[in-house]
Chain A
Amino acid sequence: MTLAIEMQNLHKRFGDLHAVQGVSLTVQAGEILSLLGPNGAGKSTIISMLSGLLQPTEGDALVMGHSIRREPEAAKACLGVVPQDIALYPDLSARENLLFWGKMYGLRGAALKKRVDEVLEIIGLVDRQKGRVDKFSGGMKRRVNIAAALLHKPQVVIMDEPTVGIDPQSRRHILDNVKELNRQGMTVLYTTHYMEEAAELSDHIAIMDHGRVIAYGTHDELIRLVGEQTRIDLTLNVDAGRVLTAWQQVEGVSRASAQDGLVTVLVDDSNRVLPRLFEAATAAGARITGVDIREPNLEAVFLHLTGRALRD
Chain B
Amino acid sequence: MRILDLAFKDLSQVLRDKMSLLFLIVMPVVFTFFMGLAFSGATRPTDPRLALGWANADGESRFSQQLYADLEASGSVRWVEVDPAEAEAAVRQGQVAGALVIPAGFGQAVFSPAPLQLTLIADQASTAGQSLYQIVQAAVARMFSAVEIARLDVTMLDAQNVLPDEAARAEERQAALEAALAEWTQTDRQRAWVRVESAVAQTDNGVPLGGNPFNQSSPGMLVQFAISGMIGAAGIVVQERKTRTLQRLITTAMKPWQIIAGHWLAMVTLVLGQTLLLVLFGQLVLDVNYFREPLGVLLVAVAFSLWIASMGLFIGVLAQGQEQVILFCLIAMFLFTSLGGAWFPLEVTGQVFSLIGHLTPGAWAMDGFQNILVRGLGLASVWQPVGVLVAYALLFFALAVWRFRVREA
Contacts and interface: CB of A to CB of B under 8 A. Distances in A.
Interface in A68-87: 73-74, 76-77, 79, 81, 83, 85-87
Contact of A104 (B2, B17, B255, B409): B2
B38 interface: no
Interface in B246-274: 247-255
Nearest to B16: A91
Interface in A87-128: 87-92, 100-101, 103-106, 108
Q: Name the 3 nearest CB pairs between A and B, nearest first.
A: A87-B244, A87-B248, A103-B5
B150 to A, nearest CB: 67
A227 interface: no
A211 B409 CA distance: 21
Contact of B243 (A89, A105, A108): A89
Contact of B245 (A81, A87, A103): A87
Interface of A: 51-53, 73-74, 76-77, 79, 81, 83, 85-92, 100-101, 103-106, 108, 148
Given A100-B5, A100-B9, A103-B2, A90 B252 contact: no
A85 B244 contact: yes
Nearest to B254: A104
Nearest to B249: A104
A83 B244 contact: yes
Given A51-B250, A87-B248, A104-B6, 7 more contacts: A51-B251, A53-B251, A79-B251, A81-B248, A88-B245, A91-B16, A108-B1
Interface residues of B, number: 21
B243 A88 contact: yes
A53 B244 contact: no
Given A103-B2, A104-B2, A89 B245 contact: yes
B243 A53 contact: no
Of B243, B244, B251, B255, most A-chain CB atoms within 10 Å: B251
A87 B9 contact: no
A59 to B, nearest CB: 18
A106 B244 contact: no
Contacts of B253: 73-74, 76-77, 105-106
A77 B9 CA distance: 21
B294 to A, nearest CB: 35
A73 B255 contact: yes
A87 B409 CA distance: 16
B5 A87 contact: no
Contacts of A77: 253
Interface of B: 1-2, 5-6, 9, 13, 16-17, 243-245, 247-255, 409
A92 B409 contact: no
A87 B13 contact: no
Contacts of A92: 9, 13
A239 B5 CA distance: 61
Given A52-B409, A77-B253, A92-B13, A83 B247 contact: yes
A52 B244 contact: no
A104 B252 CA distance: 7
23 contacts: A76-B252, A76-B253, A79-B251, A81-B248, A83-B247, A83-B248, A86-B243, A86-B244, A87-B243, A87-B245, A89-B9, A89-B13, A89-B245, A90-B243, A91-B17, A92-B9, A101-B248, A103-B2, A104-B2, A104-B249, A104-B252, A106-B2, A106-B253
Contacts of B2: 103-104, 106
B245 to A, nearest CB: 5
Contacts of A100: 5, 9
Contact of A87 (B1, B247, B255): B247
Contacts of B13: 89, 91-92
A52 B253 CA distance: 9
Nearest to A48: B247
A91 B16 CA distance: 9
Contacts of A87: 243-245, 247-248
B389 to A, nearest CB: 31
A109 to B, nearest CB: 11
Of B13, B16, B248, B255, most A-chain CB atoms within 10 Å: B248
A73 B5 CA distance: 18
A52 B2 CA distance: 18
A53 B252 contact: no
A218 to B, nearest CB: 29
B250 A52 contact: yes
B155 to A, nearest CB: 72
Contact of A53 (B16, B245, B250, B255): B250
A52 B251 contact: yes
Given A73-B253, A87-B243, A104-B254, A148 B248 contact: yes
A104 B16 contact: no
A163 B253 CA distance: 26
